[in-house]
Structure formats: C-alpha cells, structure tokens
Structure 1
Amino acid sequence: MTTTTVTQTEQQPLGAALPPFTAHAISVSLPTWGDNVGYEEGEKRVVDAMVSGYPRFFIHLSIQKLAKICEQKFGVPGEACLLCPTRRVAELCREFMRDRSTKAGSPVPVRLVQFTICPEEDDVSSPCVELHIVLFPKDSFPLAKQFWQHTGLCVSSRLAERCLVMMKVDGSGSPSPKSPTVPFMKPGNRHYSAAKGFNKSPPASPPATQPRFNANVSESSNELLSKDHINYVEERYGRNMPLESAAAAKRALRRRIAGVLVRDTPSDWSTAGGQDIELGPSTRAEGVTENDVFLYSTGMSAIWSAHQLALGARPAAKSVCFGFPYTDTLKILEKWGPGCHFLGRGLDEDIDELEAILERESKTSSGPPVLSLFTEFPSNPLLRSADLPRLRALADKHDFLIVVDETLGNFVNVEVLPYADIVVSSLSKVFSGDANVMGGSLVLNPNGRHYAALKVHMAATYEDSYYGEDAVFMERNSRDFRRRIHAIDANALAVCEFLRARSLSASPSSPSSSPSKPIAVKEVFYPRWETAAHYDRCRLGAGAGYGGLFSLTFTSLGASRAFFDALPCMKGPSLGTNFTLACPYTILAHYAELDWAAGWGVETGLVRVSVGLEEREALLRGFGVALEAAEAVVRKEQGEAKEQEKVEEAEAEAEA
C-alpha cells in the first residue's frame, strides 16, 4: 500500500499540478484561502501561475496549444474554437450555443470543421485522429465553455498530445520545419464548412514524468523520458496494457464496474479484458452484465447522458433534483429539457414535498408527472443520503426514472442499483485514485421496469468517445481500488471521529481528546452521522465503510480560513485521490451565489476534505495542527469581542 506522511513540506506552489509533475493531472494547487478567492475573481497572480486545473474548468495546455493551431488554420480574425472528439458532440455544442444565445436575444453564428490528422506514411502503428472544431466569435467563448463544463464531453489531453506529436509541433506551438504545413484533411459534409482564435500562446505542456522532489522545472526537464520510452516502461513492467489494447482495457473496466470478474486483482490484470476470461454472476445486482455498463470521458458526461437518455426514452416532463448536488448536475437539469424541481435539502420532509408535487402534476399531465429524479448517494458536500426505498416506491407509483450518482458512496461500500433505473459514477475519483485521468460510467438496472426501453435507446444512440489511452490508464489505476477504498474509509472515519469530538455537534457524553471546550468546529458532515439510517440501509455489511469525503463548518469565517491555511496536505479541486486533498468547497463551486448556497445549508466557510492513504497517525497530527490554528483564531476573536463590549459599556456609562 502506498503510504506517505502529511507534512507542511508537501504543499505545492500556487498553480502547480496535483499530483506534482504529472502531465495529465486533474487538480491544481490552490494552497491558501486567498488563492481560492483569487482564482474565482480571476486575479492575475493566480491565473498566470496555473499550469493545470480540473479539466472541465481549466482547458489543458496541450488542448489550448492544439486549439490555437486550429484557429490559425481554419478560423477567421475574431474567431475562437472549441475542440470536440466526435461529430455528434460538435453538433450538440453548436445546438447548445445557438439555443442559449437565441434565448438571450441574438443567435451566435457557429461553424463546424472536420479535421483529420494522420501520422507520416512510415508510421503504421498510429491511426489517424479525427478532430471536430467548433468555431464562433471570440466573445462567445464563455458560452462554449459552458457546454464543455456542463456536459463533460471534453477532448482528452492525451488525444491532444497525440495530435501535436503527429503534427510535429514544437514547444512554441508551431509545426516543425520537417513536418508538412498542412496535415491531411478529409473533406467535410454539407454541415461542415472548411474556412480559413485563446489570445495568447499557451505555455508548454507539463512534463510527463515525475522528477526529483522539489526539483524545479528547468532541472527536471533534463530527466524526462521520451513518450515512446515512457510507454515502453509502462508496458514492459506490467503497469499498463499496451496502448493498442484499449478495447481490452475498456472491457476490463466494464466488467470491474459490473462486478462480474471472478478474479480481479493486480496480478490478474493481463486477463481481465480478455475474451476467454472466467466471468461470474455480478456482485452488484442480479442479472447485471458488462453489457449494462457504458463508459464516458468524464463523470459529468455520464450524468449528462443519463439525462439525455431519459429525455429520449420517456415522455417529456420536468425532472427532480433531490438534495443539494454538485453544481453542474443541477445546471444540466435546468438547461436541457423542460427544467426541474429542486428539493435542495434532500431530507425526509423533502419527500413529503415531492409527493405533493407529484399529486399536483398528475392532475394536469396526461403522462408521468415528472421525467426522472436525480440524487447523489451520499451528496456532495453535505454527505446526506436519501431514503431510496421510499423514492423507489414513488417512482413505481408515478412511473418516473431514478438516477443515482454513487461516486461518493461507491459500490464497494453501498449498493444503490436495486433502487435505481440508472446509476452513474465519476471514475476520475476514488476508482482511479491517481488523479491523472478522467472517466465516467453509466449502469442500467436490468431489473428496472423501463430497462428494455432504456437499453434500446442506448443501443441506438450510445457513442463511445472515451479515448483509448485514457482507458488504458484508468484500467491500470483501478486494479486495486477495493483495497484502497477500505484503507481510505478507515482513515476518514478516524479523522472524522477526532474532529467531531472537538466540535460543537458532539454529544455531551462523547469522549474528548482535549480538556478544552470545543470552540472552532461547528459540525462534521459525514455519512456515519448524516442521515445514517438511509446510508446504512444500502451499506454492504459491517465491512463496508462511509467513504473518504467529509465536510466541516466552523464558528467563524476566520476559523475556516485558519484551519484551511494551516492544514498540512495538498489543496485543490477534485476528490477521491490517493493523497489527502482539501478545498474551500463553497468558494470554489458557488462563489457567484454564496447566499443562495448558504440558504440550502452550504455555508461560505465550509471546508471539504477528501482523505487519502497516508499513515493514520500523521493524518491525525496534521488535522490537530489545523484545528489548533482555528481555535487560536476563535480565542482571539472572542477576546476582541469582549474588549469591544467593554468599550461599548464604558461609552454607555459615560453617556448616562
């Protein structure tokens, strides 16, 4: 098992990739509260420092570089572009941009270009790559970025790097003199126009290997291996499947998610995707097979696709968002289709409200009163779990779909498929753990009443746009996910018990690790205590845990800042990493709507923590340091308040 020590020296500089020195890292270091606020406000010192970021929010430098070339090649002055992996995604992007801009008053002109890049004739090992370029006025880029962010239908950074290699682009973003100026381009169809833009040239891609710890970039560049050498090392020592085995990697992933692999350990990886591997009944739900599992480029694209599946296979109606969700899930339900009912607390009384909505809508609708209900199990960031059996009974009575996002609970700890028609998950999180690749999954419940209709629609519409090299890395990362999840569960529970004992929410009989009265931590949100009965109903026995994610609220914003800044772990977006990762969640996810989020119980000072595989005692020491910093701030604030009270009392006496 990987073990590391949580120390302050592990803090990465602002804007650095997390994990450090990782070419396709999916997080970025934002080590202080002020850095996170600066990121949200577009502060120059923060934006200029960033070489990485969460891929749906920060477009990878290799993708930026490739987009710049495409703008120069196919765009006209004043145009920018978005790169899409398939024609259908490009058309969906165009449709979204036209629809949203028309509703705002003025339709945006959008052009599509199909661009096929092929390697040199003597390189028979690499297939051609087809890009689909969406071109639009540069000032409409924020609208295009909404499509990228909400749908998660992103071009892979590894795909972009492959294109740059085939085009022989140097570090400046220009084709090398030895390469053809214009790579081969297939003619487009009548929906595509091939006409002749990120304003500044992006910096070079991060290095693809990890140099010595604390080495600077210029030093590390001398240690980098070539791409071919990296691939050889990965394959030669059994870490990765060969890149040409992407199809086998995808089969292995689908079988792993379906729970049908009889032997699924790191030592058996080479056969997990084979055609003749022994498969057994699913450990998830009766009848589930790998053919019920569909892979996507991101977890959000799985959620978006689940909504599209519902819209395509069922009568039109509003959806329901049950519980406070990760932000883009709600945006998807609001921006595609008839809209949604938002029941943001996700508590039992909200089911009472849902019943009232269903009864009311049934009186005016000839079809089902709602299309589908989306819920997270448990929710992000409040870690609440819905009463799934009760929701299932309502869905059966009123004939709507239930879609459950199991990312945080994960199917090692809980089984929600029996209560759902569709289960989605972000594989980018703990299933991968290494935070160097994106992915998502969608699973159909073969025992659901609408399974046949959903399966037929998926057969007609599903498009596998998951880039093969990403699947290879995801397959490798996930081989030991069950072992890692159990270790992370145990670490997270220990940390939460420690913090809860020092919180205002602890019961009087709870043992305290300190004789001092709790003054800083207000509440610890963790499934062990939040709606515990609902979580335990789906928990897979006593050996299953409560996941690696928890959130904290504090008695003052100053305490939140002090705790976060002093916490000696990596800081940045994402979760489910093998290393502990923290962020001021509400600041990052809802900075433009802080009052709205607070109205649903998601306070501005909420800190979210994803616990990793570090040595447990080191973790507890680190959180103890952060807690002491928060309590010191509260004591200072209390002292200042008392002094102010004395001043006010003296002034009042003087006036009397």
Structure 2
Amino acid sequence: MSSQQLTLGASVPPFTAHAISVSLPTWQDNISYEEGDKRVLDVMVTGYPRFFIHRSTQKLAEICVQKFGVYGERCLLCPTHKVAEACRAFMIDRSSQTGAAVPVRLVQFLICPEDQQDAPNSSCIELHIVLFPAEHFPLAKQFWQHTGLCISSRRAERCLSMLPQESPASPKPAFARPPVKAPNRHYSAKSFGRSPPSSPTSPNHLQREPVVKAIDEALSADQSVYVEERYGRNLPLESAAAAKRALRRRIAGVLVHDSPNDWSAAGGQDVELGPSTRGVESVTEDDVFMFSTGMSAIWSAHQLALGVRPVAKSICFGFPYTDTLKILQKWGPGCHFLGHGLDKDIDELEIILEREAAQSEGPPALALFAEFPSNPLLRTPHLGRLRALADKYDFLIVVDETIGNFVNVEVLPYADIVVSSLSKVFSGDANVMGGSVVLNPKGRHYAALKAHMVQTYEDSYFDEDAIYMERNSRDFRRRIRIIDDNTLAVCELLRKRSLVASPIPARAVVKDVLYPKWVTPDNYERCRLPGGGYGGLFSVMFTTLAASHAFYDTLPCYKGPSLGTNFTLASPYTILAHYAELEWAAGYGVEEGLVRVSVGMEDRATLLQGFEQALLAAEATAEHPAA
C-alpha cells in the first residue's frame, strides 16, 4: 500500500489537534467522499471546520443534548445568544418556505471550572445551544457552513476540560453526508440539505514541517498551552486582548515596527503606531473587526450592509467561493449573479443597474461582492470601473482580498469594506480559523457603517484561537514573498509545457494555467503594489480527465481543502465544490478536471521536481490513453 493510501482521512497537517484539512489523496477518494462511500467517510478523523464538525465539538454537543434535549433532538453550539438567535431565525425562515416551520429552542449553558461553580468569573464559558428535531440537522448544518459562526474546536475543548469526566463515548462523525442522488443546485436559493465537501488533503513529500510543532500540538490542551507559553512562541492566555489588538494593528497596517524583537509588544498600549500602509492612511485598528472565520466576516459584512442601507438585491461579481453566493441568496432579498466576472460583465451590470434604478425609488443595489482575485479561476475584476458604478448608483463595494492579500495588492481605496479569511496565508499553519472586516474611512458611507458596527459588533473570537492566530501571523510578510516566488516558478514550468506555449510542446496535456499574471492581468496590475507578487494560488486545466487524474494522483504534496498554507496543498476543486452541478460550473469555465494548487514554502528545486514528476505522469496519458 502506498504512503498516500495510508494517510486517507488523516489530519493535514499531521498530528495537529486543530488541523483545518483532511487527507483525500487520490482523485477517486474525492469522488468517493462526495458519493458518501463508507471507505472514505469511516476513516476521516477531521476536515475543514465549517464542513466537518470537530470531534471535540461533537462530543460536547452530545453532552448538551443529553443534559438539555429531549428524545430525537440534535443541536448546534453557538458562542453567543445573538448567533443562536440568528441560527434559529435561519432555520425557521428556510423551513417555512417549503412547509411547516421547524420547532427550534434555545438553551444557555454556563460552564465553569469545578472550583468556581458558586462564583462564576471570566474563566467560565457561555454556550448557547440550538436544539431541534434530528431530521432537520442538514438545515442546521447549512447555517454552520454558510456563516462560520458556531463554536471553534478550541472553545469546545476548553468546555470539555471544565465538565465532569463522565461523558458519552465518542459520537459518530457528523461530517458524513448521504450519497448524492439527484442533481442538487449548489447555488440554487432553495437547495438546502447538502453541505459542500469537507475538503481533501494528502501526505506531503515536499514539506519538511518542524517535528516539534507536530508533537506539541498533539499534546493535551493544558500541556500544549504550557509549551507554547514556556518557550515564548504564544502570548499567555491572559494576554488575549493584547493578541487581538496586535492582530487588528497588523491588518490595519499601522505597526511601525513588526519584527521579531517587537512581536511580544505589538498589542501593548505603548507600541509605536503610524499611518496605515493599506492605501488609506487614516485607517486605524478601530476600523478592523475580528471574526471567528473568513466566512463569518463575509456574512457579517452582508449583515452590516442590510442593517445600514436601503433594502435591495446584492451583486455577486465573478464566480465566487461557494458559500459567498449562498449568503447573498439566503439572507436578504437575493442577488444578481454575474458569474464570469469579466470586463464585459460590467457592461451587463450597468444595464441591470439602470433597469433597477428606473423601478425603485432607492438605490438599485445593496452591495457588490467580489473576490480579488477569484477562487478558483483567478480572475481579477476592474475595481476602478466597479467603484465608478458604485458611486453613480450609490451601492457598497465589498472586496474579499484573501487570495491577493494586502502584501501583494492594494484594494481598500476602491472598497467600502474589505474582508479576508485569516485562516489562509495570514496564518499559514492551517491550525486555526479567523476572519477580518476592514472599513474604509474614506468611503461615502463610512460614518453609518462604523456607527452600526460599534453598536452591534460582539467579539466572539475565542481567546485561544486569537493567541494562535497572532503567533502564526507574525512573519506573514516574509512567508508571502517566498510563496509568491515559488508559485510563479511552478506556474512558469507548467505554462511552458501547455497549449498556450509557443511553440506548443509535442506531448502537451496542460490546456491552461490560471494565475493572475496571465488571467485578466491589466486589472490585477492596477492594484499590485510595488514589489508585490501574484499570490500563492493557481489552477491548472488539462486536455483530458485522464491527465487531470494522473497529475493529481502523482503530485507529491498534501491534498486538501484549504489554501494559503505554508506547505503545498492541491485539490480537485470542482469535484469537491460542485460535484452535483458539474455541467453548470463548466458553463462558467470551472471545468470538471480543474486542479487547484496552493503553493508553499518548500525548497524550490524540490518543489519543481515534484511538479515535473506529476506533469510527466499526466503527459504519459497522451501516449497511453485509457481503454
């Protein structure tokens, strides 16, 4: 049995208690996962947190159901009453559209250390339990997946550590989904019940992660905390507020000094701060808001728009990561979907805006959401033209900069709100989730947006998650430079052996390499910073599915769900995100055989050797086509 087969279902990175990926090392493993094959589902120990409910969270949920539930109920666990109320409202609203409203009830559970049962203090943790009939769990799971608002695995572990030890046996995995039967419109406003995949990953022969990290993260929670604090890598847990300030300052670009000698003081009261480097000098840490996941940042940005602006449909510009469109469809009055996201679609958008403006007394749109660049097509929108339309028709622009990242591109001057998944390259270690919202102080609606955020924002980002995110992000600028250079080298290798090369190589099976340097390059260059690169993500498309399979199966790296990791991570993206709607996705250029790759920090020669090996396997399929 190959080493890849041995690692099916293992956490990625290995031996990491809070890993955010799972190993699905072959193309067939991914298909089997989508079809609910027990061979795959029964060995998965983890998964991407919004798709796979961590085993600690499952265990805590079973305890809560035993304590507060009635026969036939299940639950979701939320960090605040406000989130629990949003979950209940979502379940009632969605179920009411197709039948009777689901009965949902909420329970508050205060968990304290045993020695503080009679005098609760700040070390206690509040849980808000959403209980409902078990058959409606797929609907509840949608809320978990789309919003990213429910509790983190570290919060669950901390709760378990404070509860009496007589707890139920480990529950069955909650990530397993039934086999796909009829096509299910993943982007349909009425398609609820299917959770997009918990992404895949595989063993990495390119990566050489420090063994100490794998070991200490496999320790018990208390031991791990001790090791991290004792050796000066993490701030102590009581410094969580300072860690969050350091994160907000780092994201705002106001830390004058952010080198190793300054990291421990980055969240302090006396640290030197300067004008923002984000392209809008007046940005401060108070314009940055932290969230538990990147998707909760996007959901919250949409809720902010709904709370401040007149009711109108949103605009989804470009083919987005799946849950962004779900948010725009399932909350509020819906959205206009311009899935190609090319310059010609801005002409179509203007027609839509003129039509809507003629039929409405208020603005013709609520907000336009766009990725810079998009996932997985790496297309970049013309932000200048979109900004001009937003000013003319009075709607907000929300830009997701996760893939471009603010070391490479400057998008804030064009946006009212910038969102990002900090779980990706900002963290890099793939062991913690996080998200951010940045408001543009120069935006026309800044005063209203800021006032609403100050009034409604609640910090539900778990302290321990913030501690890890702060540590991971300290050297993100250095890491991004290495990743950018590695990615460009890999893309150039693949492009020279593709159908877009001149002359075309004799055995070319690579149809195209999708990377911002070559996809909508003018739009990307307008926002690229001096010295900025093109990011760490690319997609490659092949002339045949056989070539795609051979390339993916041979590539000697981890294979899994996330991106922006310090190690190389590959995914058969369309299979995982759009398995029930392959034809529909292909209509927007997202082909079934597309392989998405997030490049890491490995030695470049070793990295290129691994991609050469995979490329040779793909090219061999042209000589020996499948029978």
Alignment TM-score, normalising by the size of structure 2: 0.91
8 Å CA contact 2:420, 2:437 repeated in 1: yes
Tell me, which stretches of 5 or more residues in structure 1 are unaligned? Answer: 1-7, 175-197, 203-212, 215-219, 641-656
AA at the equivalent of 2:541: T
CA apart distance, 1:568: 0.4
Bigger Rg over Cα: 1
| Structure 2 counterpart of 1:414, from 393, 409, 417 | 409
The 3-state SS of whatever aligns with 2:74 is strand
AA at the equivalent of 1:19: P
AA at the equivalent of 2:320: P
| Structure 1 counterpart of 2:150, from 148, 154, 168 | 154
AA at the equivalent of 2:477: R
Distance 2:517 2:391 in 1: 29
Name the structure 2 match of 1:251: 245
CA apart distance, 1:11: 7.9
CA apart distance, 1:506: 2.1
| Structure 2 counterpart of 1:128, from 115, 119, 124 | 124
Name the structure 2 match of 1:606: 594
CA apart distance, 1:171: 7.6
CA distance change for structure 1 residues 370 and 484 in 2, over 3 Å: closer, same or farther? same
Name the structure 1 match of 2:37: 43
TM-superposition CA deviations, 1:313-343 (whole Å, max 9, x none):
0000000000000000000000000100000
The 3-state SS of whatever aligns with 1:471 is helix
The 3-state SS of whatever aligns with 1:148 is helix
The 3-state SS of whatever aligns with 1:115 is strand
Name the structure 2 match of 1:372: 367
CA apart distance, 1:593: 1.1
8 Å CA contact 2:60, 2:156 repeated in 1: yes
Name the structure 1 match of 2:470: 475
Name the structure 1 match of 2:74: 80
Give 1:507-546 correspondences, 5 Å limit: 507-508=502-503, 516-541=505-530, 543-546=531-534
Name the structure 2 match of 1:433: 428
8 Å CA contact 1:240, 1:472 repeated in 2: yes
Give 1:259-278 correspondences, 5 Å limit: 259-278=253-272
CA apart distance, 1:517: 1.6
Distance 1:416 1:223 in 2: 36
TM-superposition CA deviations, 1:36-88 (whole Å, max 9, x none):
11111111011111111000000000000000111111111111101001000
Distance 1:40 1:465 in 2: 32
8 Å CA contact 2:76, 2:150 repeated in 1: no
The 3-state SS of whatever aligns with 1:482 is helix
The 3-state SS of whatever aligns with 2:540 is strand
Name the structure 2 match of 1:102: 96
8 Å CA contact 1:392, 1:402 repeated in 2: yes
**Counterpart check, 1:622 vs 2:610:** yes
AA at the equivalent of 2:152: S
Name the structure 1 match of 2:17: 23
**Counterpart check, 1:392 vs 2:381:** no
CA distance change for structure 1 residues 150 and 201 in 2, over 3 Å: closer, same or farther? closer
Distance 1:241 1:9 in 2: 37
Distance 1:346 1:11 in 2: 38
| Structure 2 counterpart of 1:289, from 284, 293, 301 | 284
**Counterpart check, 1:632 vs 2:620:** yes
Q: CA RMSD in A?
A: 2.2
CA distance change for structure 1 residues 521 and 275 in 2, over 3 Å: closer, same or farther? same
CA distance change for structure 1 residues 381 and 221 in 2, over 3 Å: closer, same or farther? closer
CA apart distance, 1:344: 0.5
Name the structure 1 match of 2:161: 165
8 Å CA contact 2:568, 2:599 repeated in 1: yes
Distance 1:221 1:544 in 2: 35
The 3-state SS of whatever aligns with 1:411 is coil
The 3-state SS of whatever aligns with 1:20 is coil
CA distance change for structure 1 residues 226 and 555 in 2, over 3 Å: closer, same or farther? closer
Distance 2:583 2:574 in 1: 10
CA distance change for structure 1 residues 221 and 531 in 2, over 3 Å: closer, same or farther? closer
CA apart distance, 1:634: 2.1
8 Å CA contact 1:243, 1:472 repeated in 2: yes
CA distance change for structure 1 residues 397 and 450 in 2, over 3 Å: closer, same or farther? same
CA apart distance, 1:120: 1.5
AA at the equivalent of 2:416: D
TM-superposition CA deviations, 1:227-275 (whole Å, max 9, x none):
3332222112110000111100000000000000010123311100001
8 Å CA contact 1:97, 1:143 repeated in 2: yes
8 Å CA contact 2:55, 2:173 repeated in 1: no
Distance 1:506 1:17 in 2: 38
8 Å CA contact 1:578, 1:613 repeated in 2: yes
The 3-state SS of whatever aligns with 2:43 is coil
8 Å CA contact 1:65, 1:201 repeated in 2: no
AA at the equivalent of 2:383: L
The 3-state SS of whatever aligns with 2:418 is strand
CA apart distance, 1:226: 4.2
Name the structure 2 match of 1:305: 300
CA distance change for structure 1 residues 75 and 399 in 2, over 3 Å: closer, same or farther? same
Identical columns (%): 73
Q: Which moved more, 1:428-437 or 1:234-243?
A: 234-243
4+ residue runs of structure 1 moved beyond 2 angstroms? 8-12, 122-126, 168-174, 198-202, 220-230
| Structure 1 counterpart of 2:53, from 46, 49, 59 | 59
CA distance change for structure 1 residues 310 and 533 in 2, over 3 Å: closer, same or farther? same
8 Å CA contact 1:11, 1:568 repeated in 2: no
The 3-state SS of whatever aligns with 1:81 is strand
CA distance change for structure 1 residues 435 and 547 in 2, over 3 Å: closer, same or farther? same
8 Å CA contact 1:246, 1:471 repeated in 2: yes
AA at the equivalent of 1:366: E
**Counterpart check, 1:461 vs 2:459:** no
The 3-state SS of whatever aligns with 2:155 is helix
**Counterpart check, 1:565 vs 2:570:** no
CA apart distance, 1:199: 6.0
CA apart distance, 1:222: 13
**Counterpart check, 1:119 vs 2:113:** yes
The 3-state SS of whatever aligns with 2:419 is strand
Distance 1:498 1:341 in 2: 38
8 Å CA contact 2:570, 2:598 repeated in 1: yes
TM-superposition CA deviations, 1:629-652 (whole Å, max 9, x none):
1111122229x6xxxxxxxxxxxx
Distance 2:257 2:493 in 1: 37
CA distance change for structure 1 residues 11 and 463 in 2, over 3 Å: closer, same or farther? farther
8 Å CA contact 1:378, 1:406 repeated in 2: yes
CA distance change for structure 1 residues 12 and 532 in 2, over 3 Å: closer, same or farther? farther
Distance 2:90 2:157 in 1: 27
| Structure 2 counterpart of 1:553, from 530, 541, 563 | 541
Distance 1:633 1:157 in 2: 43
Tell me, which stretches of 5 or more residues in structure 2 are unaligned? Answer: 176-206, 209-213
The 3-state SS of whatever aligns with 1:597 is helix
Name the structure 2 match of 1:349: 344
AA at the equivalent of 2:338: L
The 3-state SS of whatever aligns with 1:497 is helix
8 Å CA contact 1:10, 1:570 repeated in 2: no
CA apart distance, 1:607: 0.3
CA distance change for structure 1 residues 249 and 104 in 2, over 3 Å: closer, same or farther? same
